[in-house]
Chain A
Amino acid sequence: GAGVSQSPSNKVTEKGKDVELRCDPISGHTALYWYRQSLGQGLEFLIYFQGNSAPDKSGLPSDRFSAERTGGSVSTLTIQRTQQEDSAVYLCASSLRTGLRETQYFGPGTRLLVL
């Protein structure tokens, strides 16, 4: 399909390990967003890319979190030394252009469980 895809769909890891989450946006979409959704909660904004650059990284919860985007396409969210409180669904969204009136298309999410 032509939607946003994320991998893996589920990830179980041990506390202290590093994890990489991948997002493939819709082809041609220049803007890409990462969100975190804890169980039963709303979405927490993490970071936003316009092309390959992220104008503001203040939404990342700690310095264990980092994200990059290459070629204006695929993005990777990396969590180092995972903690149990990192357990959540990590959602990626993309949009064709930035602006106030912008529809974000969401991927199915990666469910991360840190034991």
Chain B
Amino acid sequence: AQKITQTQPGMFVQEKEAVTLDCTYDTSDQSYGLFWYKQPSSGEMIFLIYQGSYDEQNATEGRYSLNFQKARKSANLVISASQLGDSAMYFCAMREPFNTGGFKTIFGAGTRLFVKA
């Protein structure tokens, strides 16, 4: 079963506008963590933002905010005031415990964001 679903393979946004990248997840655990990573064309994975399942407030990191709706199991990333350098692949990920101990991180398929000048 798909654990992390990103329904937007590609998105366009005009420079300086805000954009929302969708992410839904599936888990039966009560304790889990949600992440967003950015992967530019150079290939490195860059951590953007984290939301814990018990965090009551939505996470924010500069121009990034996470719209966490626990009942709907969604964790959408909002990028405000888009910049040309935001053009990249964006991955939603969920961290959950292993049955055998430890944790694993499951990634979605990604959304490619194109910022237009």
Contact = CB atoms under 8 A, between A and B. Distances in A.
Interface in B23-78: 31-33, 43-45, 47, 50, 52-53
Contacts of B104: 45, 48, 56, 59
A33 B98 contact: no
Interface residues of B, number: 27
A109 B39 CA distance: 12
A50 B99 CA distance: 15
A33 B35 CA distance: 16
B103 interface: yes
B102 A100 contact: no
A14 B32 CA distance: 41
6 contacts: A33-B105, A42-B109, A56-B98, A101-B33, A103-B47, A103-B50
A104 interface: yes
Nearest to A45: B104
B85 to A, nearest CB: 19
Interface in A1-46: 33, 35, 41-45
